[in-house]
Structure 1
Amino acid sequence: MRITRFLTLSVVLLAGNAASGAQRESLEEIRDKVPYGLWLEGRETEQIPWSTYGPDVTIRADLRYQVDFSAVIRRSEPSNNLVLMARVVDRQGRPLTKVQVIEPGPAPGPLGASLLLAAAVRSGRYALNLVLFDRMNGKYNVKFENFEVPAAPNDPLEDSLRDLPLVEFLTKPAPQPAQDRPSPPLLMDIIFGGPTGIRDVFRRIPRSRPAGSRDWVSTFSPRPFPISSTAPIEINVISVLSPPEEFVQQKFFVEHYRATLRNVLNAFSRLEPRNGAIRFTGVDLIHQTVLFDRTPMKALDPEQLAQAIAGIPTATITLDALAKQTARGSFFRSVLEQQISKSEGGCAGGAVVFILIDGRESFKDARDLSPLSVGRACRPLVYHLRAPIDPLAADHIGRLIKPFNPKTFDVESWPEFRDAFRRIYADLLAIGNLGTETNFLRVTDP
Structure 2
Amino acid sequence: MRRRNTKEFFNSWLYILIALGAFAILALYLGDVVSLCRRLLAILSPIIIGSLLAFALNLLLVRVERLYFPNSDHPLVKKSRRGVSLLLSILIVLGVIALILGLVIPQMIKAISIVSEGLPRAYVRFIEWVRESDFLPDALREKILFSDFDFNSMISKGMTLIQNWVGNLIGIAGKVLSHFMDLVLSIMFAIYLLAHKERLVKQFKRLGYAYLPDRLNISISHVLIVANETFAKYFGGQFLSAFILGILTAIGMLILRLPFVPVVASVVGITALIPILGAYIGNIVGVILIITVSPLKALIFSIFLIILQQIEGNLIYPKIVGTRVGLAAHWVLLAVVVGGGIGGVFGILIAVPILATIYHLVKEDVEFKTSKKPADGIERIMSEAEKPRRKRNLAGNEPASEVTGPDADGNDSTEIP
TM-score, scaled relative to structure 1: 0.25
Specify which structure has the higher proportion of helix: 2
Larger Rg: 2
Q: TM-score, normalised by structure 2?
A: 0.27
